[in-house]
A and B are shown apart, each in its own frame.
Chain A
Amino acid sequence: SQKIEQNSEALNIQEGKTATLTCNYTNYSPAYLQWYRQDPGRGPVFLLLIRENEKEKRKERLKVTFDTTLKQSLFHITASQPADSATYLCALAGGYQKVTFGTGTKLQVIP
């Protein structure tokens, strides 16, 4: 069955460092991959989308890579700030399939 894995352990990093979150998937051939941010008590907010034929996408301090051979996406936040603390969800979709979400990784940026 299709499976999306995100590190369930919280990621703690020092302010100013680069945070790297991982999304791995199996039994899936997604056409595109999305990353969302979710703050406590709120709905997810879309951040970035990357297509299967793209290796990398950037938006301000955010960078996403997509390796369809490794079946993995990496999400980077450079010069991290305490305001970046949140749970980050990856989501995949392919063909006419609906978007499937991972369980998310909680990021804590320590001042």
Chain B
Amino acid sequence: NAGVTQTPKFQVLKTGQSMTLQCAQDMNHNSMYWYRQDPGMGLRLIYYSASEGTTDKGEVPNGYNVSRLNKREFSLRLESAAPSQTSVYFCASSRMTPGQGGNEQFFGPGTRLTVL
């Protein structure tokens, strides 16, 4: 039982390049999330998927797109990377949908992205 896995662990991009961050969970959770974490800013929600086939914007969605490929996998795409997207990206999953009581989230190890 690996929990939440993310690839890659580290990535360096040049401005304007694109890339996709991959996330998978093996806990049969309904909901999945993408966050970014910056010093002094805390975790900020980029996009989430309350269930397979649905996605919704979070607090900071601009510059990102997501795909809920199936119940296990939720990917985050940067179409044209900018230096402001330098951050640590975390994927998370939870059994219940956002706002439901006890919506404990399980996090992956993170992807450290630098955009030059």
Contact = CB atoms under 8 A, between A and B. Distances in A.
Interface residues of B, number: 25
A103 B42 CA distance: 4
Contacts, number: 61
Interface string A19-57: 000000000000110100000011111100101000000
A49 B105 CA distance: 11
Interface string B30-58: 00010100001111110010000000001
A100 B104 CA distance: 12
A103 B99 contact: no
A96 B31 CA distance: 13
B48 A101 contact: no
Interface string B86-116: 0000101000001101111111111000000
A110 interface: no
Contacts of A34: 104-105
Given A98-B48, A101-B42, A101-B43, A46 B104 contact: yes
Given A93-B98, A93-B99, A98-B48, A42 B42 contact: no
Contacts of B92: 43
A98 B99 contact: yes
Given A34-B104, A43-B92, A96 B98 contact: yes
B104 A49 contact: yes
B99 A43 contact: no
A102 B58 CA distance: 16
A43 B108 contact: yes
A31 B40 contact: no
Given A44-B43, A104-B42, 15 more contacts: A31-B99, A32-B103, A42-B110, A43-B90, A43-B107, A44-B107, A46-B106, A49-B104, A89-B42, A94-B99, A95-B99, A97-B99, A101-B35, A103-B40, A103-B42
